[in-house]
Amino acid sequence: MVSFRSLSAAARASGVVVPAVWSTVRRRAVLTAFALGLGAMGAPLPAQQPPAVPEPVLIAPGDSTLRSGRLTADTARFALIAYRGTQQQQIGSVIDVIRFEMRGDVPVLHRVLTVQRGMAALIDSTITDARTMAPRNHRTVQPQRRIALEFTGRRVKGSLGPIDVPSLPIDTTLAVAPFDSGNWDLLVRTLPLAKGYAARFRVYDTDSGLREYRIAVTGTATVLGEAAHVVIFTLAPGRESVVWISTTSGQVLQVETMIDAETMLRQVRQR
C-alpha cells in the first residue's frame, strides 16, 4: 500500500492543498459515515453514544498473532482519486506486487510498489521476514530523492538524500525493534481482524523516526461487491484513514483519507 507521504505528495503535485490538521468535528463525522458505509457525502447521523473503544494490544515483530499465511502472492492495481465537493480527479495510480521468496533459508516477502503520476514515478522495494514480519531492507527511488535502509532488530542503517548529491548516512538504534512504516497495511492484513479488535504497533519512518500506529476494526461493510472489515487506521492524533479489507481474501479493497475539510483522497482497487 502506498505510504501516506506518497499520497500527500501526489495530492500536492496535482494542486490539492494538504494542511497539517483539519476540523476534528468534521473529521469524526466523516469517519463515522465511512465506517457505516455512507460515504463522504452521507446523510447526517443521529446523536448517539460513542461505542466503547477496546484497549489496543501491542504488536511487535514475531508476535504470535501475526500470520503471513493470510497474505498471498499478488499483483494489485489501484486508482488514486481526489474528491472535492462534487468534483473528482484521478491524480495517479498504484501497482502493488507481492511475492514470496527464499533468501538463504529465510522465507521473505518481496514487495515492489510503484506510484505513478503523469510521467513521474515513485518506486518502493522492500524485503520482510515472512516468519516475524520484521523488516530487512527498504529501497525507495523518487524523482527528487533516494532512500536505502537495512534493518537488524533495533538498528537501522542506510542513507537518504537527493539523487544529484551525496546521500546522508543513517545509523540509529531505536528503543524497540520496529516494523516498516511503508508496509503497515501488510502487517494489518496478517492480524486476526474482527469487529472490536484493536492494536497498536511501532514503525520506523525515515522522516520522523520511531512512531506508533493504531488500528481499530469497527465492523463490516460491502465494498466493490465484497464483504470487508472496516478498519480505522490512525497514523497520528488527528490523522486517520478508513481502510476496507476483504473478509475472504484479506486484500485491501479501498482506503479513504480526508486531506482537508473539503477534500477526500481515495485509493480504490481496480478489477
pLDDT at 155: 98
- For the chain, percent of residues with pLDDT exceeding 70: 80
pLDDT band at 118 (very low <50, low <70, confident <90, very high): confident
Question: Exposed, middle or buried by CB within 10 Å (0-12, 13-18, 19+), for 8?
Answer: middle
Q: Could you read off the pLDDT of 148-161 as tens digits, one per residue?
A: 999 999 999 999 99
- pLDDT, residue 36, reads 35
Residue 236's pLDDT band (boundaries 50, 70, 90)? confident
pLDDT > 80? residue 23: no
% of the chain residues with pLDDT over 90: 73
Average pLDDT over residues 47-76: 86
Domain count for the chain: 1
Checking if the pLDDT of 79 tops 70, the result is: yes
Q: Determine the pLDDT at residue 52.
A: 60
Question: For the chain, what is the largest distance between any 2 Cα atoms, rounded to a whole number of angstroms?
Answer: 57
Please say if the pLDDT value at position 50 is more than 90.
Answer: no
Cell of 33: 459515515
Q: Which of 4-8, 126-130, 143-147, 176-180 has the lowest mean pLDDT?
A: 4-8
The CA distance from 42 to 60, in Å, is: 37
How confident is the model at residue 3, as a pLDDT?
54
For residue 131, the number of C-alpha atoms closer than 13 Å in the C-beta half-sphere is 5
**How much is the pLDDT for 271?**
86
Each residue of 87-111: pLDDT tens digit? Answer: 999 999 999 999 999 999 999 999 9
Tell me the C-alpha distance between 73 and 63, whole Å: 22
Question: Taking 60 as the threshold, does the pLDDT of residue 56 lie above it?
Answer: yes
Residue 22 in this model has a pLDDT that exceeds 60: no
**What's the confidence (pLDDT) of residue 85?**
86
pLDDT for 33: 36
Range of the domain at 246: 4-270
| Cell 477534500, residue located | 263
